Amino acid sequence: DRVMIEPSGVGKLSEIIDSCRRALPGRDCAFGICVAVVDATKYAMYEKNFSEFFLDQIKSAKTVVLSRTQKAPPEKVERAVEGIRKHNPGANIVTTPWDRLSAGKILSVAEGRMPELIEGARSGPDSIPGEDGHHDHEHCHDADQAFEVWSIETPQKFQAGRIGEALRRITRYGTVLRAKGIVPVGDGKWIQFDYVPGENSLRETDADYTGRLCVIGQNLDPDGLASLFGVSGCRAKGSFSAGGSADRRIPR
């Protein structure tokens, strides 16, 4: 059997590994694959603005999969690989666009069995960061020191156009790593929105138990965000640690 753990969008991989390691002694189980996904088009931006969290993922993974390499100029992919290699010299780095790879091939890379698809390989497929039971904690701090979360639940009906405009202007209200939500827009319809720096999307979706909005980043302006989205008659849930309940309330 294999247990798979997908952290919240801003969960720290090093802390998850530590938690699992503490639970392993005396049990008939072992670590397998530790993978981080890095957007090749935004490597430099994430490293600059969210270095503590972002680099923790890279340093702690044994395989790094670069996404959107088909959209990135070759020199951007090369710089991302160089940056990853600087922080984790032994990582497997997948640069082939994953829509050209089968699930089996990606799994083989993650297990260290297909070096022709990767930029480099560790000494063995079962090695993990800190195999001796230790981690470099010089830069590991609680996630809530790195991120703020503005989160609201509301039955209010929204206009899709207002949400789209809010996503285009959201950078005025803090350094935003992620924004997401699911809200009613009238006529029994609901939309789900997603934002990462430089990109946003809106799509129709199924109804949920109530409307929800969530913004994750640094130096957020809660009042400004409420005004931006036109939220009224409800209170923000407040700031939570990056791995806290606010992040789990919104579907990914």
pLDDT level of residue 191 (50, 70, 90 thresholds): very high
Query: Is the predicted pLDDT of residue 10 greater than 80, yes or no?
Result: no
Query: Is the predicted pLDDT of residue 114 greater than 70, yes or no?
Result: no
Q: Give the mean pLDDT of 144-160.
A: 83
Average pLDDT along the chain: 78
CA distance 146 to 169: 23
Q: Give the mean pLDDT of 88-94.
A: 90
Query: Is the predicted pLDDT of residue 74 greater than 60, yes or no?
Result: yes
Query: Is the predicted pLDDT of residue 125 greater than 50, yes or no?
Result: no
| Burial class of 116 by CB neighbour count within 10 A (0 to 12, 13 to 18, 19+) | exposed
Strand partners, 186: 189
Q: Give the mean pLDDT of 93-117.
A: 78
Say which residues have a Cβ less than 8 Å from residue 36's Cβ, sequence separation at least 6: 13, 57, 58, 60, 61, 63, 64, 65
Which region holds residue 138: left if phi is over 0, alpha if psi is between -120 and 50, else beta? Answer: alpha
pLDDT tens digits, one per residue of 201-219: 999 999 998 999 999 988 9
pLDDT level of residue 137 (50, 70, 90 thresholds): very low
- From the CB of residue 207, how many other CB atoms can be counted at a distance below 10 Å? 11
Say which residues have a Cβ less than 8 Å from residue 71's Cβ, sequence separation at least 6: 40, 41
Query: Is the predicted pLDDT of residue 27 greater than 80, yes or no?
Result: no
Apex 7 CA angle, 72 and 140, nearest 5: 85
Predicted confidence at residue 170, as pLDDT, reads 95
Predicted confidence at residue 172, as pLDDT, reads 94
Say which residues have a Cβ less than 8 Å from residue 96's Cβ, sequence separation at least 6: 69, 117
Predicted confidence at residue 9, as pLDDT, reads 63
